[in-house]
A and B are shown apart, each in its own frame.
Chain A
Amino acid sequence: MNADQVVCGVALLVWGLIFFYLTRLERRIRELEKR
C-alpha cells in the first residue's frame, strides 16, 4: 500500500465519520420537529 492510498483511506474515513454524524444529527432534528 503506497502513501497515496493511505492518505485516501484516511480522507474517506474522515468523510464517512462526518457524514455519519450529520445523518444522525438530521434524524434527531426531524424527531424534534415532529413533536
Chain B
Amino acid sequence: MIARGILFVWIAVWTVIALVKAPLVPGLGGTTRVLYFHIPAAWVASIALAWSMGHSLLYLWRRRIEHDDHAASAAELGLVFCIGATITGSVWAKAVWHSWWNWDPRETSIFFVLLVYGAYLALRGSIEGEERRARLSAIYSAAAFVTVPFLMFIVPRIYFSLHPDPIINTSGKMHMDPLIRISFFAMLLGFTGLFAWMLSMRVRVLRLTRRIEAGAAAPALEGTV
C-alpha cells in the first residue's frame, strides 16, 4: 500500500512540475507538455510487448501456465499504452501539423503494431482449451514481437518523417533543459511503476478466473470418473 501511495504522489508531483514549472522546448511551444505522457506511454508499450514475448518464450520452454498469464496480461496492457501513445501523438499532430492523422511513418508504424497485437487478442479469444490457447498464443506473440523494433525504431528512421527527432538523437546526446530532462525521466519511471502495478493485478485476475472456473467445473465433473 505504501508503494501505491508513493506512486500516486510521484506521478502527481512530477505532473505539476512538468506542466507548470518546466520550460517549453523552443519550436514546440505549448505542445511540449504532450512529451511527458506520449513518450512514457510508448516506452511502456515497448516494455510490455517485450515482457509478453519473454514470457511467451518461457511458456514454450517450461509449459507453465503462469507464463501465459504474464504474456497475455502484458500484451493487453501494451495495447492499452500503445493506444494512449497514439491518442496523445494524434493530439500533438493536430496542434502542430493541423491534422489528427497524416500517415506519417511513425503513425503508420504504430497503426501496424496495434493491428498485430489486436490480432493477438482476437486469436486468444478464438481458441478453445487452455493449453492449446497458451501454446498457439505464445508462438504468435514471440513471432509478433519481431515486428515491434522494426516498426517502432527502424521504419521511422529509414523514411522521411515530420516527427521530431528521438530524445536521444543520432549523435547519442540529449539536447534538453535539465528540468525538462528530469521531469521526463521521472514520468518515464512513474509510468513504468504504473505498468508494473497494473500487470500484477491483471495476472492475479487471470489466476482468480482460472480458480473460479475450476471450482465451477469440479461439481460438474463429480461422478464422471
Question: Does the CB pair B30–A33 fall under 8 Å?
Answer: no
* Shortest Cβ distance from residue B56 to the other chain A in the assembled complex, whole angstroms: 24
Residues in B whose Cβ lies below 8 Å from that of A4: 19-20, 33
> In the complex, A19→B33 CA distance in Å?
21
Q: Is B204 an interface residue (CB 8 A)?
A: yes
Give the secondary structure class of A's interface.
helix
The CA of A3 and the CA of B197, in the complex, are separated in Å by 32
Residue B8 lies at the interface, judged by CB distance under 8 Å to chain A = yes
Give the contacting residue for A29; candidates B20, B30, B205; CB below 8 A: B205
B198 close to A (CB within 8 Å): yes
B4 close to A (CB within 8 Å): yes
Residues of chain B within 8 A of A11, CB atoms compared: 15, 19, 37
Tell me how many residues of B have a C-beta within 8 Å of chain A: 17
Encoded as 1 (CB less than 8 Å from any B CB) or 0, chain A from 16 to 31 comes to: 1001001101100100
B16/A12 in contact, CB under 8 A: yes
User: B212: nearest residue on chain A (CB-CB)?
Assistant: A32
Which 10 A-B residue pairs are closest in the complex by CB-CB distance?
A8-B19, A19-B8, A11-B15, A29-B204, A8-B20, A4-B20, A32-B208, A7-B19, A26-B201, A15-B11
